[in-house]
Chains A and B, each alone.
Chain A
């Protein structure tokens, strides 16, 4: 078991799957400007995934490429959290999912900049700037919808209720997370949890939303146990490489 490899894949898979999900909005956004905003963020995430996959392939040392990791692994090999594979739903649900992820991603990269692995540190430095904007974007929309009209408030509150039990998994340490913390290539998830919780609380309160009381957390994604949705995502994402191996643009 190579912890560094698994650690890199965990984050790469989060970025790829959420990027793919967000990309589903392309051409369907509520207004043109937000359609572009979502696809921009989608491409940022896929860009982050690419850097991480390239590095993971290098660590693996089997001569594989980023494409092998993205297109030729099966659902049980994916280590993304369950949150990012959830359905887009309406715009409010996409915003809540994004905000719960961004509020992690931003602090994660900020901390990862101090990784003793120089590749991870460099990827984090580049990605952190993107994540800061993502968090601003999704946080602003939580405020606008929560503190907006009666309908927007209702929709985002029900999205929050539906996704709340998926928000915690990302800060629950795996073996790779633990090894990363001990060896110094990874971050301290407990410290990130504290910062993230307070940011989430602050924004939700300002948005006049009720924070669900349940502390139950779905988990399993990081170990390859996924919801039914991942298979469908991979069917879309991987079809071309599976049907026409090695095909290029």
Chain B
């Protein structure tokens, strides 16, 4: 069981919301990954849908590239839609 691959788990907390990364776990295959995720990450009623992706298929940005990738966005306040008044009925914005 030590050589079971690692899986990244994404949970949709309720219909209409997006899946969010909640953590990772080990499993022998995709079916077991879903079952393990059900047992580990939804036992307190956290979700209605699970995605499992084997970790090796994820590509991550390099922390060393942080400056060129993310710094430039910090002072572009005009890119935020904060100049609109949102009606109260609009949720999850």
Contacts and interface: CB of A to CB of B under 8 A. Distances in A.
A36 B39 CA distance: 6
B30 interface: no
The 4 tightest CB contacts between A and B, nearest first, are: A33-B36, A37-B39, A36-B39, A31-B1
A56 B11 CA distance: 39
B25 A33 contact: yes
B88 interface: no
A32 B25 CA distance: 9
A37 B28 contact: no
Interface string A132-174: 0100110010001000000000000000000000000000000
A115 to B, nearest CB: 28
Given A40-B43, A140-B35, A33 B26 contact: yes
**On chain B, which size bracket covers the interface?**
10 to 19
Contacts of B40: 32-33, 36
Nearest to B7: A33
A134 to B, nearest CB: 11
Interface of B: 1, 4, 25-28, 31-32, 35-36, 38-40, 43
B44 to A, nearest CB: 11
B26 A137 contact: no
Given A31-B1, A144-B28, A36 B35 contact: no
Interface in A32-55: 32-34, 36-37, 40
Contact of A31 (B26, B35, B43): B26
Contacts of B27: 33
5 contacts: A31-B4, A31-B26, A33-B25, A33-B39, A40-B39
Nearest to B38: A133
A94 to B, nearest CB: 15
Interface residues of A, number: 13
B22 to A, nearest CB: 14
Nearest to A136: B35
Interface of A: 30-34, 36-37, 40, 133, 136-137, 140, 144
Nearest to B27: A33
Contact of B36 (A30, A37, A133, A144): A37
Contact of A37 (B1, B31, B35): B35
A1 B28 CA distance: 51
B1 A137 contact: no
A40 B42 CA distance: 11
B35 A30 contact: no
A223 to B, nearest CB: 36
Contacts of A31: 1, 4, 26
A136 B39 CA distance: 13
Nearest to A148: B28
Contacts of A30: 1
Contacts of B26: 31-33
A137 B35 contact: yes
Contact of A140 (B4, B25, B31): B31
